[in-house]
Structure 1
């Protein structure tokens, strides 16, 4: 039996009821182009393969790759021995008309950078279903004004609709983690609700302002906008970051981008 490795953040899902509920939530169709990140010992991989003509899986642990190769039908599963944080998911999409469905029980220690890695490839993604630490899912689906609303909420919701599906208790795993987990569905927007003129400026502004989340944005945005410029964008410079909506952040990002362009020689 494979022993879970702490350095890979491995906690293997074993509860068949939770697995069935997750597969129903994903609702795979036969011809879906799907990739599972971190298949582990195949607990979710097997029922997904039952529903799909073919499945891709990205796994870093060589021992688990060997286990999966021994126990699963190779012709219906393509295993990629790779670090998901560096994997080019666009290579799995041979047809410009297709979109990739992404599924994964993500290790807690890489979940945020992995989601940002996937966001950079969002043009080829249809949807994403992830099992994550419950606190992280609460941040992904947070609304302005709540303590969970932060950089992760803004950046993910800029690109995706985020839906909290259901809770997963620690006893559903082996070994049992010390935290509750939850399932989230991320669905890329067909049309961005609040597109920005310069995404790099927007991302930098959001990241900067939440480093001082307890202070008024006039302080957190000093390097981007003056209080007067914040007001001109239609936003009270005395507000704190968690009080701003996605639309507010987009307006501030556009104002900052315009200021940068105006000062260029």
Structure 2
């Protein structure tokens, strides 16, 4: 695979662009891990983000019903369109993924599967924004299988109390059940990155892990708590109102009382709180703001 890709690079005079995070996968065994984790059928529409030289695209096309491959680099788009000219079930889309309409991108009346799958070697420089954008449209997808930096993978699966646990961990685990499928060394890419990578599978949940009355308040509490990571949850949330309007009207005394009511020690830090605890705090703040009736209760799935 490496020889094939490097020869392509020489013939087309296309060199990987570092600022676009272009590290092309050249290890066939890792390619198989990714494809196997996707569990593709001919009923599936697959969205690939950052198609690169088309190595993964070609592997996906063998098992999926339709592949929509997004690539921002116009040089590679031209190469991909030549390569897949005779592949009716492969659609090459030129553009910045974050600027595209995901509903339109995944629409297909000819496939049976109600939800699409995302399978991608994500550009490392923009991994987190891409994943968060996918979760904003979580209802469109059944699973995500992505190749990312190992450090990002560890953040995705991190548990409360671990050094990698943060707002990104909570956002992923709110929407999905993540699992690291394989650790990938730098030698699996050309050019080689300076860090290890990992294949991560994220199964989208039918309902969020935490049922909360107001997602806006929930994520404001999460982001506000982690924004001042070394401070107590009381101090962090007391300061968060300056940044997050959802919390602006809730003062320190109210937050102290709310934490006591929901059973969270005010001296704890955000990095120790579970999704359930963030949810209880968020619902109590919603009640404080008059958005939650006395009869409604917090629930965890």
- Aligned partners of 2:71 and 2:93 also within 8 Å: yes
Shift of residue 65 of structure 1? Answer: 0.9
Task: State the alpha-carbon separation in 1 of the partners of residues 87 and 70 from structure 2.
Answer: 14
Equivalent residue, structure 2, for 1:235:
264
Equivalent residue in structure 2 for 1:14, among 12, 17, 26: 26
Task: State the alpha-carbon separation in 2 of the partners of residues 23 and 124 from structure 1.
Answer: 20
* SS of equivalent residue, structure 1 residue 78: strand
Report how many residues are paired: 263
Equivalent residue, structure 1, for 2:144:
128
Equivalent residue, structure 2, for 1:50:
62
Shift of residue 138 of structure 1? Answer: 0.4
* SS of equivalent residue, structure 1 residue 176: coil
- 1:18 to 1:97, Cα distance in 2 relative to 1, 3 A: closer
Unaligned runs of 5+ in 1: none
Written as runs of structure 1 = structure 2, the 5 A alignment for 1:169-208 is 169-208=185-224
Q: Please provide the CA RMSD for this pair.
A: 1.7
Matched, 1:212 2:228: yes
Equivalent residue, structure 1, for 2:281:
252
* SS of equivalent residue, structure 2 residue 200: strand
Equivalent residue, structure 2, for 1:68:
80
Task: State the alpha-carbon separation in 1 of the partners of residues 256 and 131 from structure 2.
Answer: 33
Shift of residue 94 of structure 1? Answer: 4.0
TM-score, scaled relative to structure 1: 0.94
Task: State the alpha-carbon separation in 2 of the partners of residues 52 and 100 from structure 1.
Answer: 10
Shift of residue 97 of structure 1? Answer: 6.6
Shift of residue 258 of structure 1? Answer: 1.9
Runs of 4+ in 1 over 6 A off after TM superposition: none
Unaligned runs of 5+ in 2: 1-8, 242-246, 248-253, 292-301
TM-score, scaled relative to structure 2: 0.83
Shift of residue 193 of structure 1? Answer: 2.7
Equivalent residue in structure 2 for 1:38, among 50, 55, 65: 50
Task: State the alpha-carbon separation in 2 of the partners of residues 51 and 203 from structure 1.
Answer: 37
Structure with higher Rg: it is: 2
Task: State the alpha-carbon separation in 1 of the partners of residues 22 and 67 from structure 2.
Answer: 21
Matched, 1:82 2:98: no
- Aligned partners of 1:216 and 1:239 also within 8 Å: yes
Task: State the alpha-carbon separation in 2 of the partners of residues 17 and 192 from structure 1.
Answer: 33
Equivalent residue in structure 1 for 2:123, among 101, 107, 124: 107
Shift of residue 36 of structure 1? Answer: 0.7
